Amino acid sequence: MRPSTDQDKAKWASGTAAIETYVRDGMKLGLGSGTTSHWFVRALGEAVAQGLDVVGVPTSTGTRDLALEVGVPLTTLADVQRLDLTVDGADEIDHDGNMIKGGGACLLWERIVADASDRMVAVVDDSKVVDTLGTFPLPIEVIPFSWESTQRSIARLLQRLGYSEPDLRLRTANGEVVVTDSGNHIIDAHLQKIDDPLALDAQLNWIPGVVENGLFTGIADEMVIGYPSGKHEVR
Ligand code: 5RP
């Protein structure tokens, strides 16, 4: 499989560069979700076929299926206590490495796997790097029980902070409610500009019914930025 669009080429450049830059024999790896991470997983499969000895923990059922297809050996966090490195994408990343994640609704497993890792590297195309987080809607994962009430609590917090009403995420294809790999729903918050990501992260996660939100602050150690030319930059 080869990248087709310019953005896809930039994602490919980032995902594949992460292999030679960071991955070493014997590593236990967190395998991110989304299209950029999937270029990483495909390249990892090729490296494994050539003898690289690694094992991975996937951050979604989609990544698990791809890893199995391309021959990356898998394990779980029940069997290994710590991971050496997680490589995962982002919907937005600022210059300090704070991210919005969860565009693909995988934020909960992504955060757990990143938390179990000694190092986290974000793989992004150049369009993801922003001065201030917030243009991309912030995903908030909520349990299905009384999600309407949880959404109202989130809306009250956001209103106090001067933001607009959040929305329940529906599938664009058929209008059905999105269900995450853990059986939860996603509420998307339209914030435009997040001045204090760390504070908002804590405020959101305090709300009963909220399982996790997509603000990943202080988690990424480095980022690999891919460009449509096929070049990449490590920061
Ligand atoms: C999924 C994620 C992805 O990492 C994020 O959406 C980026 O995806 P892509 O690489 O396809 O742009 O957080 O929950």
Of all helices (H) and strands (E), which one includes residue 185? strand 185-189
127 lines ligand 1 (CB under 6 A): no
Candidate from 36, 121, 180 with most ligand 1 atoms within 8 A of CB, to mutate: 36
User: Could you identify the residue written with the tokens 């190092």?
Assistant: 119
As for the ipTM of the complex, it is 0.98
Ligand 1 centre to CA of 103 (Å) is: 5
Longest dimension (CA), the chain: 55
Separation of 34 CA from ligand 1 center, angstroms? Answer: 4
Q: How far apart are CA 1 and CA 205, in angstroms?
A: 39
> Is 223 a pocket residue for ligand 1 (Cβ < 6 Å)?
no
Phi, psi of 28 (to 5 degrees): -100, 125
1: confidence class by pLDDT, cuts 50, 70, 90: confident
Residue nearest to atom 6 of ligand 1 (CA): 103
Q: What is the pLDDT of residues 122-170, one digit of tens each?
A: 999 999 999 999 999 999 999 999 999 999 999 999 999 999 999 999 9
Q: Is 69 known to be catalytic?
A: no
The token pair that represents 147 in the structure block: 């999600």
Distance CA 150, CA 116 (A): 28
> Active site residue: 92, 110, 141, 212, which one?
110
Question: What residue owns the CA closest to ligand 1's atom 2?
Answer: 102
Q: What is the Å distance from ligand 1's center to 203 Cα?
A: 23
Q: Are 143 and 207 in contact (CB under 8 A)?
A: no
- The torsion angles phi and psi of 48, rounded to 5 degrees, stand at -65, -40
Which tens digit of pLDDT belongs to each residue from 166-202?
999 999 888 899 999 999 999 999 999 999 999 999 9
Helix (H, G, I), strand (E, B) or coil at 223: strand
Confidence of residue 54 (pLDDT cuts 50, 70, 90): very high
Average pLDDT over residues 82-107: 97
Rounded to the nearest 5°, which phi and psi values hold at 165?
-65, 135
Residues 52-60 have a mean pLDDT of 98
Q: What is the rounded average pLDDT of the residues 63-89?
A: 98
Binding annotation for substrate: 33-36, 88-91, 101-104, 128
Mean pLDDT of the residues in the chain: 97
